[in-house]
Structure 1
Amino acid sequence: MNTAENKRSIMVGIFVLAAIIIFVVGVLTLGGQQKRFIESISVSTVFDDVEGLKVGNNVWFSGVKIGTVKAIEFYGESQVRVRMNIDQETQKYIRQNSKARISSESLIGNKIIEIFGGTPAAQPVQDGNMLASEANLNTDDIMKTLQENNKNLATITGNFSEISERLVQGKGTVGSLLTDSTLAQDFKSMVASLESTSQNAVRASRDLSRFTSKLNTQGSLANELLTDTTVFNQLEQSMAQLEQATQSATQMAQNLEQASGKFNAENNAVGVLLNDQQFANQLQRTMQNLETSSRKFDENMEALQSNFLLRGFFRRRDKEQRKAAEEAQEQQQQLQEQDQQPANQN
């Protein structure tokens, strides 16, 4: 009996020890999952709707679990404040201007809080800080949007069905193109004209390309005008000279206009000669009188030459003139002979 009881006691002790060990391991495991035995800080955030979030749900940052939800409580009139325990080791990575939002571990998984954002210029989060929150679309909003999209899709499908029916019936411009052979032929002609126009455009572009290549040909006038600064300067000087000539011609035309204006005026001699008929008649009579006087003077000179008193005077004068002419002719002959002598010696 004692041996059997001892065996039974030993077995009971073994089972109790195994149960204690299992209990301790489970507690440690659950505590590790819940971050119970890790130093942490407490931060909070405020949401309008927690969407079924529960105490104990996880807190994630950059895809890594960093803490759990510690408490959920009402805040203000209709908001909810969520307090979170975050590992102290991750404190240096989370900034005070970071934000928190409610998300899901999977499509139908548990709710989690995701911390994101923040700039390096901001200070790390401290114990007791409150992070800003960002609202997400919940399932109801997604379903409402999906219903609206379904309605729009149904409307589009109905419109497309109506359009296809009108096309089959030949209504509208497109329907006429599909059913009317005349319009189809006109459309083909238009396409052919468009093709011809495009070919002309291609030829024009080729001609333009050849023209530009000629402009770049060395030695051509266009190339020299575009590249040779000397030719350009000469052309510029020619244009300046042409401009000066144009200005001179303009000035000359203005002077001629002023002169012609003076010709029409009667305050100068030329204007009087051209415009005063009375003065012109007087001038004509004066010229006639001068001509008559000169003729009479010639007659008087002939009469004086015939006068026996003055005949000797005129004869001596004629003799002196003939003698002076002979002496001038002899001097000219002597000069010619002197010029010929050096030429013969050479």
Structure 2
Amino acid sequence: MSEIKDNKKAIRVGIFLFVGLLIFLLGIFTLGGQRKTFVKSFQLKVVFEDIQGLKIGNNVWFSGVKVGTIKKIQFYGTSQVEVTLSVEEEAHKYIHKNAKASISSDGLIGNKIVVLDGGSPKFPFIEDGDKIAVNTTLSTDDIMKTLQVNNKNLVDITSDFKVLAKNLVDGKGTVGALLTDQQIAENFKTIVNNLQNTTASANKMAAELNVFSNKLNTKGGLADKMLTDTAVFAKLQNSVAEFQNTASSAAALTDNLNKASAKLNDKDNVVGVMLNDPASAEQIRSTIKNLQTSSKKLDENLEALQHNFLLRGFFKNKAKEAESANK
């Protein structure tokens, strides 16, 4: 009986150990599957200035898909850090030589991760052991720092605007006076109305000038010919030159008339004496009168001679010759 009990106990222990071993193996394969321990992979290296809390075992993501883990972290150069990435072979055909890596977070408060971009298809595919460049875009921490600075600036602006708004309400400053003083507001409205009227007048004048300019540019018009026809322009030049000569002649004529008029007022010439010396004028009138009397007497004497019998024949012959010549 004791042997049977010992055998049963051994069987139970064996079964328990077998189940435990099976659970252990399943756990190993499960964890290995999650960490892709048994998946064929290749290694890439990235040198960061600051790894921002990355740890060995953190995930590597490509296009939103987990493709590997961080295998090793070590210092590089003077103050840089070299991170070795273990990337599964399946992603090999999507990552090119010019691919870049950046540090991000798995959510706002999640673990740090490394994010890869694929690079350009113009470049060949990445190879095992290659070192890729770092993407210099802002990280989540940089964005949070920027947001904090912006929030501080926003608070400062809000405070300043609060003071400004209070001054406006209290009517302080020029703008405050414009907003609160009714008289200033009315004056401002008047100024605006005047400016509108002035603008309307200016627009009207511009339109009229435009119409006048179009008339000047009318093809065949006088203004168009004056501005564009060289022959008409030359004639105008000649006309102006002739007008200038005429004006010069008129000026000379006026000057001569002024000199002659001045002579009429002097007594050193016959006309001046006749106009200005009554005695001389009276003598000239007497002389003219005597000449007229003498001329009349001469006519009478000639008439008498024509009827004289001694000269009558002579005058008759002269009359006949004159009639013959007229015929």
Structure 1 and Structure 2 fold alike (TM over 0.5): yes
2:42 aligns with 41
Q: Structure 1 residues 236, 88: CA separation in 2 closer, same or farther (over 3 Å shift)?
A: farther
Which residue is 1:189 aligned to?
186
* Counterpart residue type for residue 88 of structure 2: D
> Which residue matches 1:30?
31
Match of 1:253 among 237, 243, 252: 243
Deviations 1:43-65 (A, max 9, x none): 10111222221111110112111
Deviations 1:165-224 (A, max 9, x none): 76677654466567xxxx72213313542674587589x49x96xx89xx9xxxxxx7xx
Matches of 2:166 and 2:252, distance apart in 1? 93
**Over residues 49-93 of structure 1, what are the superposed CA-to-partner deviations in whole Å (9 max), with x where a residue is unaligned?**
222211111101121111111111111122110011112222232
Summarize the alignment of residues 44-63 of structure 1 with structure 2, pairs less than 5 Å apart: 44-63=45-64
Q: Which amino acid aligns with 1:235?
A: G
Alpha-carbon shift at residue 243 of structure 1 (Å): 4.8
Amino acid at match of 2:120: T
Q: Which structure 2 residues correspond to residues 120-139 of structure 1 after superposition, within 5 A?
A: 120-134=121-135
- Structure 2 matches for 1:235-246, cutoff 5 A? 235=221, 239-240=225-226, 243=233, 246=236
Segment of structure 1 superposing worse, 157-166 or 48-57: 157-166
Query: Distance in 2 between the 1:14 and 1:72 partners?
Result: 43
- Does the 8 Å contact 2:178/2:185 carry over to 1? no
1:223-281 alpha-carbon deviations (Å, 9 max, x no partner): xx79xxxx9433368744875663342132144256569979xxxxxxxx9xxxxxxx9
Farther-moved stretch of structure 1 (149-158 vs 4-13): 149-158
Q: Does 1:87 align with 2:105?
A: no
The residue type equivalent to 1:311 in the other structure is F
Which residue does the alignment assign to 1:109? Answer: 110
Trace 1:110-259 onto structure 2 (pairs within 5 A): 110-116=111-117, 118-134=119-135, 142=144, 146=148, 159=160, 171-173=172-174, 184-190=181-187, 192-193=189-190, 196-197=193-194, 200=197, 204=200, 232-235=218-221, 239-240=225-226, 243=233, 246-256=236-246
Are 1:315 and 2:324 matched, yes or no?
no
CA distance in 2, matches of 1:167, 1:237: 60
How far apart are the structure 2 equivalents of 1:144 and 1:172?
Answer: 35
Which residue number corresponds to residue 18 of structure 1? 19
Q: Secondary structure in 2 aligned to 1:23?
A: helix
Give RMSD over aligned pairs: 4.9
Letter in 2 for 1:128: G
- In structure 2, the CA distance between the partners of 1:261 and 1:144, relative to structure 1 (3 Å rule), is closer
Q: C-alpha separation between the residues in 1 aligned to 2:162 and 2:223? A: 76
Cα 1:166–1:22 shift into 2, 3 Å: same
TM-score (structure 1 length as normaliser): 0.59
Q: Which AA in structure 2 matches 1:82?
A: V
Tell me how far 1:145 sits from its aligned partner.
7.1
Amino acid at match of 1:111: K
Q: Is the 8 A contact 1:51 1:138 kept in 2?
A: no
Distance 1:5 1:246 in 2: 145
Q: What secondary structure, in the 3-state scheme, does the structure 2 residue paired with 1:193 have?
A: helix
Q: Secondary structure at the match of 2:126?
A: coil
Partners of 2:222 and 2:12 lie apart in 1 by 122
1:105 shift after superposition:
0.7
**What is the SS of the residue equivalent to 1:234?**
coil
The 2-side partners of 1:144 and 1:199 are apart by 47
Structure 1 gap ranges (5+): 216-221, 265-272, 274-280, 282-291, 325-346
Letter of the structure 1 residue corresponding to residue 221 of structure 2:
L
- Asked if the contact 1:103–1:113 (Cα under 8 Å) also holds between the matched residues in 2, the reply is yes
Unaligned 5+ runs, structure 2: 255-259, 261-268, 270-290
Once residues 261 and 140 of structure 1 are traced to their aligned partners in structure 2, the CA distance between those partners, rounded to angstroms, is 94
